[in-house]
Structure 1
Amino acid sequence: MEGKEFEGETGAIWFGKPAAKLVPTDDDQAERELEFLSEEAAEAECAKLCALLETPCELRNFLGAVLELSPYLRDFARRRPQALEALFDASIDDRLSEIAQAMREAGMADDASEKDVMKALRQAKREAHFLIALDMLAGAADTKTTVERLSDLAENAIGAACAYLLRDAHRQEKLKLPDPADPVKGCGWIVLAMGKLGACELNFSSDIDLIVLLDPEAPAVTDPYEVTELFVRLTRRLLRIMQDRTEDGYVFRTDLRLRPDPGSTPLAIPVEAALNYYESRGQNWERAAMIKARPVGGDLKAGEAFLRELQPYVWRKFLDYAAIADIHSIKRQIHAHKGHGEVAVRGHNVKLGRGGIREIEFFVQTQQLIAGGRFPELRGKATTQMLDRLAENGWISGEAAEGLKEQYWFLRDVEHAIQVVDDEQSHTLPDDDEGLARIAGLLGLAPDAFSGKFRSTLKLVEHHYAALFETAPQLSRGIGNLVFTGDVDDPGTLETLNELGFERPSDICRVIRGWHFGRYRSTQSAEARERLTEITPALLEAFGATRRADEALLRFDEFLSGLPAGIQLFSILQSNPRLSQLLATIMGAAPRLAAIITRRPHVFDGLLDPQLLAELPDRAYLEERLESFLAGAQLYEELLDRLRIFAAEQKFLIGIRLLTGAIDADRAGRAFSDLADLTIAAALQAVEEEFALRHGRVAGGRTAILGMGKLGSRELTAGSDVDLILLYDHDEDADESDGEKPLSPPHYYARLTQRLIAAVSAPTAEGVLYELDLRLRPSGNKGPVATDLDAFRKYQRSDAWTWEHMALTRARAVAGDDSLQKAVEEEVQAILAQKRNAAEVRREAAKMRALIEEEKPPRDDWDLKLVPGGIIDLEFIAQVAVLTGNVQSGVHTTRTAEILEKLSPDFANGQICETLASAHRLYSTVMQIERLCLTGALEPDDVPPGLADILLRAVDLPELSVLEAHLSETASAIRSHFDKLVGPVES
């Protein structure tokens, strides 16, 4: 690639000429970053780098843009300007080779300790990461080269760690290596890379997915009976070497959950046991995962031999019906979250979202499973290479292959840009202008140009994707007979319904005949019945794909029975097949949503908005729509009903966005909370105006609502109650209100609060707005329902229990007078900032957690709120940290996840923070979807398959047993951290 050379007295530096000029978000800040780097370079005696930084040129501008756009790269450059200085004398390729050699030497050093190896690998990884990113951003390395370099880096790190651990076991006489100079030879330890590392397609902040096997009969094994325990210990040490955070950072996050039956198997599994598992109980998703498997550590030859033995399992010459059904299931998973309408850019998940990387990867793998048994050339690991092979073999068109390849590499570029900003394990685009501008700048694009290109990319992927599945060989088939006339079941129709997935075809025939007989208002007109007849085959296919076809269709029948008219809906479904799929997903996977649209069909109207999935339901979006919806409401009762209608519809639409993958669980929590803020604020304003008609106003009177619990922390779910406290103040000399029926201030605000409770919680023809809970007010149920600000201040500073201050860490002013809201928030911050006995706070929190466990034990392991190591543990950790001053300075938030990410280093190191925050994200994702879709508790043995698909897609895991094992492991880890950070929970 064409390059740029900088000539000067100090020598020459060579970089690839940027393929597109990076666009800093702030030119002045870029210049300041260069000045800071120059100071560090001078202190480190990097003369050549100093000379470059003092000379205006294209390369200097490029470095300034990198430093301004990526805090992660900037911090490394400041700490290690020598890494840039070295490039005056060696190319990036040469330096990467030297780093790889240094990693190998660290693993083979005779006198090295585990701590030495960890330090060497971390330092090598950070410099290599920096250089790989620099070469990518400069345009000298294309995306394929970048992912291969990152994969080589991970493989070298694993190889070095394995070499050290094997030699260490040999020194301790736990193993007898045939050749300590070649420790992996005959060692009996096999480390397989899966996923992106297996395919040599790693990204900057990837986990590395591994499966670890052992051979009890390997030459190095001295005691076959103890070998499993030995290699499990070595595997734990490997994990520690790779992912524990130290002052030098970490190497790679490492995940072993793709091993056979992870909930009940050790970290290292005997080869024979693994082969028996795959041949007897292996799932088709595990076959798909094994496509990318390759040995990267330990005995590579033994790893290759294992994969050769596994080939008949992965690559079947003929597909059985169960395998084809599973491939259809994968197809359904993909279609289930494609949604309809425009594609959002802000907050879009590049990996899992619509039109994203995972869609391309899933398609390639399903085609490989179908055809790879008969066509060995389709058994490769690399995604784009396999797209070429599929086209060459006629499975897809050349146009589709080229289009998907181009979009795949662009999406990988976007993914890299997201991750090099702060080295975060994220695939989601920012939802603010500055963040998007930063990503666009790293790609050398203006924000508008990037948004346009990104949106068109996702659309192209979806377009090719739909066409590929429609034309994929062996997947297309005709519907067959569908006759619903007369009173007798048509045998061919029963057979067709059975093939589509219905278990009680005769009952389904009877239901559909009822539609055609016009027994419902929605099917009484001839035109409505005609339209319904035309869409029935598509509906039956869509319901059949839910895997609980009978239940889904019966829910749809209940929905039809409540519709006042049907022709509009049937016409829309006829012209928009994706809406039929979405409706089927709701009916099959989400009984709670199905019940909502059955009781209140009007909420379905919101799905007709073509911009639904393109627009984020943020506060501004909801505020604008609420204002429009309430416009023209004259009567108090009418306004309260409109609030209920609006909230019900928006809750439903937020839920649909979550269900289809258009937003994640975190954004759903914020949207549900913003909706509650706005509608409760509107209800408060209406109540105050209505109350004043009879009772007037109190002189200087002001009210404010303090949101508590999940409302305060902006983590509401679809079915959450709302915790709040109503506060007020007034002029000191105000004795009573000035209305027709005057009241004293305490009486006035108590009555006003009771009126607010009725306005929000009383059921009307349009249902309930929110169930309110005021038990967190001072003195709980014994205290007045409305609290004077001075009384609140006095109580919280003098009489409140520790648990009440813990609850106050999530308090947030959500409605009422602006000036009082500000005063309340300042008072809350002052109360939280009070000096406390940290040991006493911890003791009280641990005692309270023990009391909760005793009085409200978890229902089962899926009760993520109450289970030991669950949501409550995480919330308590965050609350204790706030009360004891163990949150990083400058962080003022009520959101649990943000607090957990920003715990002070003295309280919890970076790895613990990441573990806690990651667990909170996992729990929140599962709970948001569970509360959205189910009316009761999740029953692990009776999860609607469609819901299982949605859950697994959201957490990016292959099946429920793996998710269950992951939740169990996570809870165990969190309880361990709770015991250390807060205190042990004693019964």
Structure 2
Amino acid sequence: MTETTQPGSLAALAECPIRAPSATAAKSAAADLKPLAGEYPEIAAVLGADGPAREFVLAALALSPFLRETAMADPAALALALSRPCADILADTVAAARGAWRTAEGGLASEAELMRTLRQAKRRASLTLALNDLARLTSGRETTAALSDLADAALGAAFDHLLRAGHDAGKLKLADPEAPGEGSGLIVLGMGKHGARELNYSSDIDIVVFFDPEAGVVTDRDEVTDVFARMVRRLVRIMQERTGDGYVFRTDLRLRPDPGSTPLAFPVEAALNYYESRGQNWERAAFIKARPVAGDLLAGERFLKDLVPFVFRKYLDFAAIADIHSIKRQIHAHRGFGDIAVKGHNVKLGRGGIREIEFFVQTQQLIGGGRLPRLRLRRTDEMLVALARARWIDPATARTLAESYWYLRDVEHRIQMVRDEQTHTLPETESELARIALMMGEPDTKSFGATYVRVLAGVEQCYAELFEKEAGLSGGMGNLVFTGEDDDPGTLKTLAELGFERPADISRIIRTWHYGRYRATQSVEARERLTELTPELLKVFGATKRADEALIRFDAFISGLPAGIQLFSLIGTNPGLLSLMVTIMAAAPRLAETIARKPHVFDGMLDPGLMAELPTRDYLSERLKAFLEGAVAYEDILDRLRIVALEQKFLIGVRLLTGAISPSRAARSFSHLADLIISEALDAVRAGMEEAHGKVPGGRAAVIGMGKLGSYELTAGSDVDIILLYDHDPDAEESDGPKPLDPVRYYTRMTQRLVTALSAPTAEGVLYEVDLRLRPSGNKGPVATSIRAFSKYQSEEAWTWEHMALTRARTVAGEESLRAEARALIDQVLARPRDEAKLIADLTEMRALIEEEKPPRDIWDVKLIPGGLIDIEFIAQYLSLKARAAGWLPASEDDEAAGLLAGSEPAQTPRASQGECTSTDATLRILGPAELGEETTEELSRALDLWSGHAQIVRLCTEGPFDPKQAPAGLIDLLTRTGQAPDFPSLEADFKATSKRARGIFKRVTG
């Protein structure tokens, strides 16, 4: 022992507990140190003596590139570590760090000086601790405590510097500028291992920062939050920015309340309210270890005292036990993590690892800490002793877990000492694993592996015994950890195995649920139900193609729900409802967006008889009337119409999506709904007109449905084509109200108000986009048409294509007398004699013009493709006009034929006349066999079913054109099933063949 060597120092080491990986590696370390010996006698003394100290230092630097680099960068620190006891060096280093905010003369240090001093202190402490730990001169407990003390000192100095700088700048008014933190109301809590004084060697530090606005230290009370938030941002820079001297500690602030949407510093009152109303299970566990570490320490103690009822519940009720089980599921799916291994094993999160020991302790603290204050200790090893003394566990279990805990912490430290990396995973390669084995004092990896596995097995046994009755909670899915803000590697692996392509995004979404950021997840009960449901949700969503998109849509749905507990409970007990939810999210973005935007539409899904009842006209009418009951005000009526229409469209769509109804039945139901909505809207508009302008003598109004509305072929996304007809006494000059209008202006305004009532966006959305272009003279004609002008135009001016369109016309609302006149007029117009050659010529010219101006995008453009919907509709309209001109169609008294032609249930709709409506399908089935032959008619009907079914599904599920490359995989499957094809390529082949055959029929029919 030399004069510079003190007892207890590394130079006085009696034996070397580790050895270098090779003699070459030791020689290399000696060569690096040799140039330093001339300036530092302490280093020269160790290098010059062939003993345990020299062997140890060379082995340590050969095993750890980080320690070697640190020693070369700061040889004075190495000299100090060799010559003085560890405790003395650390005491001086921590003191220097704590006072770094001021200069030697007592003034405020610059930020650069502060950063330099703190980094030098961290470097010196890191080197000293690592060497003494490897030499077994200090224990893991002492190492973690010293690192935590250094973190406290660095944070205390940094915050004192920032507070004093704010005071000097006039932003703050401190009670005592010489002790900046005291009375400042700034609360800095160390969380996790920092709070428990258990920091690992390369640990981040987790802190949360609160402030008390009532402390009055910020001169401008309106800027309190901003001032402290800026202060915390500067603190993070001071602590973790890498400079030539390194860094102090990586600083994590994500344990604060709802970190994704809150400032870096949080008001005390708001924080207490958050934890009381929205605090998470994992936050309760996190606050077990919380400790004031900087700023106003007394205020921090008061805050933690106020949090005790949140962390430690006084009564052990069912809800408390459910909380513990919930944390168990969130933190670790015990049986699914994989086999105990050595290479690549995660010493923290793996089976039998540090996390299991911590959780073993924390769960029992959460259960018993409310009634037994002695179970509220922070340190894991101290709590094991306390649990044994309280007879919660037997002494043997406490001893096994405590010894295992510090053994595993030693392994963790050595993993991190190699390169100063925040990792907890043992190396995969033999050579790197050998480095850890040697640092642990083992002769080789085999010996290390045997010891390591034995320790893990012992921990696992204790852990399993604690939760042996909870095996069903974990399942066999693997890790599902959604606590805190960090992604658990095992969870990401589990999510990927379940079928998610972006597991980190999915993990983030589920953490959002647990934070209670949505109204639906703000209650403890709702979050518990959702936690129970999460594994099954992930499993079912993961089984779908493009699972990520489906779950993201489900997240959007949850975000819009006003409350969640009922839904989560129902889904949890009703697999069919969960399956339906997944189908919507996976296959139907349009429906998913609807329920995300207007979650009330989902209420109808809770009706157990939903799938058993057909959405007939009577069914829809009954629900519409019930919902409108009591509505008097015009705006109220329109809002209620929007609400019920959106809900019923959604429920019709859900029935179609699940196969409960066919596409043709869905088309009819969408059309019935539109009829009823238009009728109610017209009544509301008429009442408003009469209130403002009175009545026109003899005035009557009716609405004709055209296009797909007229032919009962609406889809979920269809516009409505309408014409408003009116009539009045011949000598009527104006209405009889307080603001009289002449008949033309009266009915023009009524039409405009009807269009607005149907299509204007309100808070409840839009009912229908309205198209008036099929009225006489199109966009050039008046928006409202008198019955006389309509008759004259259709008889004298209408083009052939307008009469073709008229074959699908149907009165849908208004005075029945005018509706009857309109039907008779349409019958008369369509029954007039026609030149068949001209009819065909006009038809082919019209089709060619459409083909030129609107060519189909691809084979999936079923409306415009050759042989598509337009071709088949034109054939049906041609057959209808030809048959009517020949007087062949059955009379209106034939109820069965009339109902068939109207595409409706005869018992549920008014009797239809010849001119009332002929759906494309009904026209083909009635007129096709005689004109085209049974086989051709069947071919066209099959094509029509194929195109219509595809169009119904696409319009239900998506906005815009269908693109197989962009479509959800669930939609592809749904379209394949609707098209009755074995797979999607077969469906595409069928589309092409059907298009070709239908176009051939069109060409034959048109000559």
CA distance in 2: counterparts of 1:599 and 1:822, whole angstroms? 41
Question: What residue is the counterpart of 1:961 in the other structure?
Answer: 985
Choose from 711, 714, 717 the match for 1:716: 714
Q: Percent identity?
A: 61
Question: What residue is the counterpart of 1:936 in the other structure?
Answer: 960
Question: What residue is the counterpart of 1:975 in the other structure?
Answer: 999
Question: What residue is the counterpart of 1:865 in the other structure?
Answer: 863
CA-CA distance at 1:808 after TM superposition: 0.2
Letter of the 2:684 counterpart:
A
1:89-144 deviation line (CA, Å, top 9, x unaligned): xxxxxxxxxxxxxxxxxxxxxxxxxxxxxxxxxxxxxxxxxxxxxxxxxxxxxxxx
Contact 1:898 1:917 (C-alpha < 8 Å) held by counterparts:
no
CA-CA distance at 1:578 after TM superposition: 1.6
Question: What residue is the counterpart of 1:621 in the other structure?
Answer: 619
- Is 1:533 equivalent to 2:531 in the alignment? yes
Q: Give the alignment's TM-score, normalised by structure 2.
A: 0.50
Letter of the 1:638 counterpart:
D
* Higher deviation after alignment, 655-664 or 511-520: 511-520
Letter of the 2:725 counterpart:
L
CA-CA distance at 1:884 after TM superposition: 1.4
Letter of the 1:922 counterpart:
L
Contact 2:628 2:640 (C-alpha < 8 Å) held by counterparts:
yes
1:63-103 deviation line (CA, Å, top 9, x unaligned): xxxxxxxxxxxxxxxxxxxxxxxxxxxxxxxxxxxxxxxxx
Q: What secondary structure does 1:815 align onto?
A: strand
Question: What residue is the counterpart of 1:260 in the other structure?
Answer: none
Q: What secondary structure does 1:860 align onto?
A: coil
* Higher deviation after alignment, 935-944 or 828-837: 935-944
Choose from 729, 732, 736 the match for 2:730: 732
- Within 5 Å, give how 1:910-921 maps onto structure 2: 910-921=934-945
Contact 1:562 1:598 (C-alpha < 8 Å) held by counterparts:
yes
Contact 2:964 2:972 (C-alpha < 8 Å) held by counterparts:
no
Contact 2:856 2:864 (C-alpha < 8 Å) held by counterparts:
yes
Question: What residue is the counterpart of 1:582 in the other structure?
Answer: 580
1:428-474 deviation line (CA, Å, top 9, x unaligned): xxxxxxxxxxxxxxxxxxxxxxxxxxxxxxxxxxxxxxxxxxxxxxx
Choose from 649, 653, 661 the match for 2:647: 649
- Is 1:889 equivalent to 2:894 in the alignment? no
Choose from 607, 610, 625 the match for 1:609: 607
Letter of the 2:946 counterpart:
L
Question: What residue is the counterpart of 1:700 in the other structure?
Answer: 698
Letter of the 1:537 counterpart:
P
1:888-941 deviation line (CA, Å, top 9, x unaligned): 632552200111112255521111111111111111001000100011211123
- Within 5 Å, give how 1:447-596 maps onto structure 2: 478-596=476-594
Letter of the 1:580 counterpart:
L
CA-CA distance at 1:564 after TM superposition: 2.2
CA-CA distance at 1:575 after TM superposition: 2.0
CA shift in 2, pair 1:496/1:904, >3 Å: closer
CA distance in 1: counterparts of 2:754 and 2:530, whole angstroms? 45
Question: What residue is the counterpart of 2:829 in the other structure?
Answer: 831
CA distance in 2: counterparts of 1:956 and 1:479, whole angstroms? 35
CA distance in 2: counterparts of 1:565 and 1:943, whole angstroms? 31
CA-CA distance at 1:571 after TM superposition: 1.7
CA-CA distance at 1:759 after TM superposition: 0.9
CA distance in 1: counterparts of 2:569 and 2:928, whole angstroms? 58
Structure 2 residue runs without a partner (length 5+): 1-474, 891-896, 902-917
CA shift in 2, pair 1:906/1:605, >3 Å: closer
1:339-375 deviation line (CA, Å, top 9, x unaligned): xxxxxxxxxxxxxxxxxxxxxxxxxxxxxxxxxxxxx
Question: What residue is the counterpart of 2:794 in the other structure?
Answer: 796
CA distance in 2: counterparts of 1:616 and 1:952, whole angstroms? 24
Q: What secondary structure does 1:941 align onto?
A: coil
CA distance in 2: counterparts of 1:839 and 1:735, whole angstroms? 46
Choose from 947, 950, 963 the match for 2:974: 950
Letter of the 1:713 counterpart:
S
* Higher deviation after alignment, 624-633 or 940-949: 940-949
Question: What residue is the counterpart of 2:93 in the other structure?
Answer: none
- Is 1:923 equivalent to 2:947 in the alignment? yes
CA distance in 2: counterparts of 1:716 and 1:904, whole angstroms? 23
1:661-699 deviation line (CA, Å, top 9, x unaligned): 000000000000000000010000010011100110111
Q: CA RMSD in A?
A: 1.4
- Within 5 Å, give how 1:763-782 maps onto structure 2: 763-782=761-780
Contact 2:705 2:809 (C-alpha < 8 Å) held by counterparts:
yes
CA distance in 2: counterparts of 1:906 and 1:563, whole angstroms? 56
CA-CA distance at 1:524 after TM superposition: 1.5
Letter of the 2:971 counterpart:
L
- Within 5 Å, give how 1:343-382 maps onto structure 2: none
Letter of the 2:819 counterpart:
Q
Structure 1 residue runs without a partner (length 5+): 1-476
Letter of the 1:959 counterpart:
D
CA-CA distance at 1:483 after TM superposition: 1.9
Question: What residue is the counterpart of 2:739 in the other structure?
Answer: 741
Could you list the structure 1 runs, at least 4 aligned residues long, displaced by more than 4 angstroms after superposition.
none
Contact 2:929 2:937 (C-alpha < 8 Å) held by counterparts:
no
Contact 1:502 1:549 (C-alpha < 8 Å) held by counterparts:
yes
Q: What secondary structure does 2:812 align onto?
A: strand
CA-CA distance at 1:515 after TM superposition: 1.0
Contact 1:868 1:975 (C-alpha < 8 Å) held by counterparts:
yes
CA distance in 2: counterparts of 1:543 and 1:691, whole angstroms? 52
Aligned residues between the structures = 507
**Whose radius of gyration is greater, 1 or 2?**
2
1:487-514 deviation line (CA, Å, top 9, x unaligned): 3323332222112111111221111111
Letter of the 1:842 counterpart:
I
Q: What secondary structure does 2:610 align onto?
A: coil
CA distance in 1: counterparts of 2:824 and 2:699, whole angstroms? 19
CA-CA distance at 1:481 after TM superposition: 2.5
Contact 1:527 1:567 (C-alpha < 8 Å) held by counterparts:
yes
Letter of the 1:598 counterpart:
A
Question: What residue is the counterpart of 1:336 in the other structure?
Answer: none
CA distance in 1: counterparts of 2:515 and 2:994, whole angstroms? 54
* Higher deviation after alignment, 942-951 or 538-547: 942-951
Choose from 626, 630, 642 the match for 2:628: 630
CA shift in 2, pair 1:721/1:836, >3 Å: same
Question: What residue is the counterpart of 1:899 in the other structure?
Answer: 923
Question: What residue is the counterpart of 1:453 in the other structure?
Answer: none
1:757-816 deviation line (CA, Å, top 9, x unaligned): 111111111111111000000011111111110110111011100010000000000000
Q: Give the alignment's TM-score, normalised by structure 1.
A: 0.51
CA distance in 2: counterparts of 1:576 and 1:627, whole angstroms? 30
Choose from 582, 596, 599 the match for 1:598: 596
Letter of the 1:856 counterpart:
K
Q: What secondary structure does 2:883 align onto?
A: coil
CA distance in 2: counterparts of 1:903 and 1:656, whole angstroms? 34
The one of the two structures with greater contact order (alpha-carbon pairs below 8 A, sep at least 6) is 1
Letter of the 1:734 counterpart:
A
1:391-412 deviation line (CA, Å, top 9, x unaligned): xxxxxxxxxxxxxxxxxxxxxx
CA shift in 2, pair 1:492/1:943, >3 Å: same
CA shift in 2, pair 1:790/1:919, >3 Å: same
- Within 5 Å, give how 1:404-415 maps onto structure 2: none
1:198-218 deviation line (CA, Å, top 9, x unaligned): xxxxxxxxxxxxxxxxxxxxx
CA distance in 1: counterparts of 2:524 and 2:731, whole angstroms? 72
Contact 1:902 1:913 (C-alpha < 8 Å) held by counterparts:
no
Question: What residue is the counterpart of 1:191 in the other structure?
Answer: none
Contact 2:976 2:984 (C-alpha < 8 Å) held by counterparts:
yes
